[in-house]
A = this chain, B = another copy of it.
Amino acid sequence: MKDAINVKWTGDMAFEAVVDEHRIVMDAKPEVGGKNSGPRPKPLLMVSLAGCTGMDVISILRKMKVEVTGFYMRVIAELTEDHPKRYTAIKLIYEFSGINLPADKLQRAVELSQEKYCGVSATLKDSCEISYEIKINEI
């Protein structure tokens, strides 16, 4: 199986990608010659990770008949100080809101994503330590 995308330089430090017919702009900060017309590229790696595991978790919870009213993720990555400035560890905080939420099922849904389904976690975890924490807000 193959997956492919095209990315075009649009001048100065800006680039535009088209993925699934959606346009994604990336740009640098003005301090380094950009115009901040889009996000920096490196944090998109964290966005990719969160989206991939988040969709897994939502699908699994649906199959488990667990209803959440809110679901937030915070992704915190540690970076090296020297070039290449790479991620060395990523922590995912999964925060669920709802009424009488079953902690064991939420834990299981996250575990299934992290251990079995999430392709981005699986791509990253040989080179970057991935850890997670689950928070539950009863409303």
Contacts and interface: CB of A to CB of B under 8 A. Distances in A.
Interface of A: 1-9, 13, 15, 17, 19-22, 24-26, 28, 32-33, 36, 38-52, 54-55, 58-59, 62, 68, 70-81, 83-87, 116-128
A44 B19 contact: yes
B79 A3 contact: yes
3 closest A-B pairs by CB: A41-B51, A126-B127, A19-B39
A68 B78 CA distance: 34
Copies in the complex: 2
A65 B107 CA distance: 54
A132 to B, nearest CB: 13
A17 B76 contact: no
A72 to B, nearest CB: 5
B41 A7 contact: no
B44 A83 contact: no
